[in-house]
Amino acid sequence: MDAGAGTGHYLADVLQAVDGGIGVAFDVSKHAVRRAARAHPRLGAFVADVWRPLPIRSGVADVVMDVFAPRNSAEFRRVLRPGGAVVVVTPAPAHLSPLVEDLGLLSVDEDKERRLARGMEGFTEVERRSITFDMELDRDGITEVVRMGPSAWHTDPAELAGRIAGYIARDTATPSGAPTKPRKVKTQAAFHLSIFETVSQARIIP
């Protein structure tokens, strides 16, 4: 199950790597859910709010994925099978640097990690990895990654699109007015991947 799945991109990749697995994705956006439903032949999708009771039977999910999305630990515990796990991906402070600074996007809250630990009541973090890599993004790529973050919910879409267009156009003009190749911007992906198990089954990590 993928909570706050957006277009289902991540769950589709997981299903592609797992023979015979069946996935279900949900999101509050009906437009994203329509795309998620077409993301993979073994993926179903529906519209739902993570903060409300989910229309899923108890004890049926092997894994709950939560990528840059809100978390409802009580519902996650309810839908998990015994021995199941929750995989949570959260942005690190350096995520999308320098785009965050240059575009005036919302940065990662310094208290985010403490809120994550408090919000996963009934679970224990049994594994954690920090992952970073560089990306080169054109205008469409920048737009997509910005839409995945909180700035998309707190900034007027037209204003955000204007910022991105201006940022891409910066330093691309030539004295002769000759056309230039579409500009690509280097930015960094930086995030934490945590695996949570219910307290009763959590392994002791040395």
Q: Using an 8 Å Cβ cutoff, are 192 and 130 in contact?
A: yes
- Reported confidence tier of residue 102, pLDDT bands at 50, 70, 90: confident
Domain boundaries, the chain: 49-198
Main-chain dihedrals φ then ψ at residue 5, nearest 5 degrees: -75, -15
Tell me: the pLDDT tens digits for 108-154?
A: 666 666 677 678 989 999 999 999 999 998 888 888 887 777 666 66
- Phi-psi label, residue 83: left if phi above 0, alpha if psi -120 to 50, beta otherwise: left
* pTM given for the model: 0.81
- Tabulate helix, strand, coil % of the chain (nearest 5): 30, 30, 40
Tell me: the pLDDT tens digits for 5-52?
A: 999 999 999 999 999 899 999 999 999 999 999 999 999 999 999 999
Where does the chain have alpha helices with state H? 9-17, 30-37, 73-79, 99-103, 112-119, 139-147, 151-154, 157-169
Long-range contacts from 46-51, C-beta under 8 angstroms, 24+ separation: 50/3, 50/4, 50/26, 50/75
Tell me: the pLDDT tens digits for 169-203?
A: 774 555 555 545 557 888 899 999 999 999 876 55
**CATH fold label, 49-198:** Rossmann fold (3.40.50)
Distance between CA atoms of 32 and 86, rounded to whole angstroms? Answer: 22
Q: Using an 8 Å Cβ cutoff, are 71 and 114 in contact?
A: no
pLDDT of 96 reads 87
